Chains A and B, each alone.
Chain A
Amino acid sequence: MRLLPLGDTAWTVEFGDRVDPALHGRVLGLLDALEKAKADEEFVGVVDLVPTFRSLTVCYDPSACDGARLGETLRNLAEKAGAARREGRHWHIPVCFDDDLAPDLADLAQAKGLTREAVIDLLTRTTFQVYMIGFMPGFPYMGGLPAELEMPRLSTPRQAVPARSLAVAGAMCAIYPWESPGGWRLLGRTPVPLFSAQNEASPSLLASGDEVRWRAIARSEFTELEAAAARGGLSRDSLLVKG
C-alpha cells in the first residue's frame, strides 16, 4: 500500500497497479471504513471519495484540515481496514439485443466463432462486478466479462455512441449513460437510465462494489420500459435482486 499526494487537495491510497478483484476488495474495505468514520473529527474537511480498480482517492479542502495529518490517519486506516467484503447491491438490468441496438454483436460473434445467441447467453449468465464509476457521470467499469468475449476496442471510435448502450472492451463491460464518442463495442441497449440528476441522494444507479446481471428482453418490453423511464415511472427498486 502506498500513500500518494495528488497535490494539496487529495491523497490517493494505492493498493496496487492493476485490475485485480483482490486489490479492489481492499479499495472497498477502505471505502467502507471511511464511510463509517467520516463523521469523526479526524475526517473533517474530506469532501469526496473516488474509488477505482486499485486505489481510493480522498479529496479534501486544504483550508478546512491539515493535509499531512489526514494522510497519516488514512495510512493507518488503510493498513487496518483489510478487505472486508462490502455488501454491494445486486441488480438485474434489462437489455434488448436487437440488431439495430447492438451494432457490434454480429461482428463480435463472428470474430469469436460463436453464434449471436451464444454471445447473449454468455452475457446473461455472467455476474459483473462494478469496479468504479468514471469517464462520465454514472459510467460503470465492470469486470467479469468471460474470456471468450474479450476483444480490443474499435480501431476507429464512434463519434456518437447512443445513450444506454451496453458495451465491452478488453475484459471490461459498461453502459454509456449518455450519448458520447466512444470506442467500445456495442452489444445491446438498456431502457434504464444510469444517471438521474433529479435523484439528489444517489444520482448514479450503480456504485463501486455492486453486482450486475443482464436480463434479455424483447423489443416490446424495451419500448415500454423506455417510455416508463421517460415519464419517471421506472423504479430502481424493481431492478434490485432481493435477499
Chain B
Amino acid sequence: MNDLGNALIEVANPGIANSFQDLGRIGYRGMGLAVSGCLDPLTARCANALVGNPPACAVIEVRARGPILAVKQDPVRMVIAGPLTAKLIRTDGSQHDVAPWRSVTLDVGERLQVGVLTGKTAYIAVSGGFATPVQLGSRSLYQRAGIGVAITKGLEIPCAGVSDGDKEFSAPPWSHDDGPIRVMLGPQDDHFKAESVAAFLANAYTATEARDRMGMRLQGVALAHATPAAADITSDGVVPGAVQVPANGQPIILLADCQTVGGYPKIATVISADLPRLAQVKPGETIGFAAVGLVEAKQALTALEARWKQWAGHIIDESAATDTDDESDLFQPI
C-alpha cells in the first residue's frame, strides 16, 4: 500500500532526547560498540505495523518532549505507539488532536507536533520508515560515539509517500505482560551472599530518576557482596538486561546503549521477553524480580510472540468502516 515515492520530512523542532532507533547494530560488540536499538522493540514494532512497515524500519523513540515534523514532499502516513499524543497542524493553521494507536495521513505542508511524555517511552513511525543513512548496519543513534544520525533542526528525512488517500489504521493499545520482571540468575550470583540473592528476589526496587539509554539505577534493600573484594570483577561481557551491583549494593539494570564489558558483578539478567517492559517503568514506580530458567525464558518469548501476532491481527482499516463508526473522524477541530 505504500508507494516507494520520494517523500520527505523535515525536522522543524528536534524536541528533547529523541532518537532514531531500529533493531540495533549487530556484529560490532567485539569492537566495543553498543548494540543500541529501541528500548521497547515491541511497542516500536506496533508503530511500524500500524503504518504497514516491517519491524526493521527505523522509528523515532520519544522519552521526553517529542519533535515537530513537517511534510515537505508527498503525503505520508504516521502513527504514535505509546502513551503520547500529538497535534496535526494543517496548512491553514488549524490544529487537530492526534491520538496514539491510530495512523494519520499528512499532506505536504502539514506538521505533526508531538507532545510530552514523562517517564515512559513511545514511538513515531512513518510510512516506509525514517530512511536516514545506515551506519555500520543500523540507523540507531549511539550518542556516546556519535554513530547514527541525530535528530536536529532542519534535518530532511526520506521516507515513502502514500497514494491511497486518507486511510486510517488503528488497533487497541498494546499492553506489556505484568507481574514481576523475570530474570535468570548470574553470571555472578555467586559473588553475593545467599541471603542477598533471596532479598533481591523478595523485595520491590524503586526506579530512580538516574536513567538513560545506557541503564537505570534502582533503589531498595542493599545487596551485600560475599566479600568486599567480590564487589569488583575483572571486566567481562555484559548485555542489555544485566543487573550489575556496585559496592553500594544498589542494582543498575543495563539497557540498549550499555557498554560491552563491565567490572561490576551481575547478580542476574532480565530475560529478553521482559526487557521491553523496563522502558515503560517510570521513576518512582517499583518493580519486583522473579527467577526463571532458560526453558521458561524461551516459553515466555514464544508466548509473547504469539500474543503480539494476535494484537497485529486486530489492526483495522478505519476508513473502510466509516459508515458505522462515528469515531473514525479523529480530527476534532479545537
Residues on A lying within 8 angstroms of B by beta carbon are 4-10, 12, 14, 17-19, 47-57, 59, 62-63, 66-68, 132-139, 141, 177-178, 195, 197, 200, 203-204, 207-208
Between A and B, 9 residue pairs with Cβ closer than 8 Å are A6-B187, A7-B239, A9-B239, A17-B234, A48-B29, A50-B29, A50-B261, A197-B147, A208-B30
Per-residue CB proximity of B296-309 to A under 8 Å, as 1/0?
01100100010000
Instruction: Identify which of B31, B188, B241, B270 gathers the most chain A CB atoms within 10 Å of its CB.
Output: B31
Q: Given A9, A12, A68, A204, which contacts B32 in the complex, CB threshold below 8 Å?
A: A204
Q: Given B32, B137, B239, which contacts A6 in the complex, CB threshold below 8 Å?
A: B239
Bound CA–CA A6/B186 (angstroms): 7
CB-CB under 8 A from B27, the residues of chain A are 47-48
- Pair B259/A204 contact, Cβ less than 8 Å: no
Bound CA–CA A197/B27 (angstroms): 13
Bound CA–CA A137/B145 (angstroms): 7
Q: Tell whether A9 pairs with B186 under 8 Å between CB atoms, given A47-B27, A136-B259.
A: no
- Enumerate B28-50 residues with CB–CB distance to A below 8 Å: 28-35
- Pair B33/A8 contact, Cβ less than 8 Å: no
- Pair B269/A62 contact, Cβ less than 8 Å: no
Bound CA–CA A8/B272 (angstroms): 7
A196 to chain B, nearest CB (A): 10
- Pair B136/A200 contact, Cβ less than 8 Å: yes
- Pair B261/A135 contact, Cβ less than 8 Å: yes
Bound CA–CA A200/B158 (angstroms): 22
CB-CB under 8 A from A19, the residues of chain B are 234
Q: Which residue from chain B places its CB closest to the CB of A202 in the assembled complex?
A: B31
Is B184 engaged at the interface, CB distance under 8 Å to the other chain?
yes
- Pair B186/A4 contact, Cβ less than 8 Å: yes
- Pair B31/A133 contact, Cβ less than 8 Å: yes
CB-CB under 8 A from B35, the residues of chain A are 48, 59
- Pair B32/A7 contact, Cβ less than 8 Å: no
Bound CA–CA A141/B261 (angstroms): 11
- Pair B145/A134 contact, Cβ less than 8 Å: no
Closest 7 CB pairs of A and B: A57-B237, A7-B269, A4-B187, A134-B261, A204-B31, A8-B297, A48-B29
- Pair B31/A8 contact, Cβ less than 8 Å: no
A194 to chain B, nearest CB (A): 10
Q: Which residue from chain A places its CB closest to the CB of B243 in the assembled complex?
A: A7
Q: Which residue from chain A places its CB closest to the CB of B187 in the assembled complex?
A: A4
Q: Which residue from chain A places its CB closest to the CB of B269 in the assembled complex?
A: A7
- Pair B305/A63 contact, Cβ less than 8 Å: yes
- Pair A6/B237 contact, Cβ less than 8 Å: yes
B95 to chain A, nearest CB (A): 40
CB-CB under 8 A from B187, the residues of chain A are 4-6, 12, 14
Bound CA–CA A42/B142 (angstroms): 31
CB-CB under 8 A from A52, the residues of chain B are 234-237, 261
What 20 additional pairs, Cβ within 8 angstroms, besides A50-B29, A59-B237, A68-B295? A4-B187, A5-B186, A7-B183, A9-B239, A14-B236, A18-B234, A19-B234, A47-B26, A50-B260, A52-B236, A52-B237, A53-B235, A54-B234, A56-B237, A62-B297, A67-B294, A133-B31, A135-B261, A136-B259, A177-B145
Q: Which residue from chain B places its CB closest to the CB of A8 in the assembled complex?
A: B297
Q: Tell whether A138 pairs with B32 under 8 Å between CB atoms, given A7-B271, A8-B272.
A: yes
Q: Which residue from chain B places its CB closest to the CB of A19 in the assembled complex?
A: B234
Instruction: Identify which of B29, B183, B241, B272 gathers the most chain A CB atoms within 10 Å of its CB.
Output: B29
Bound CA–CA A56/B236 (angstroms): 8
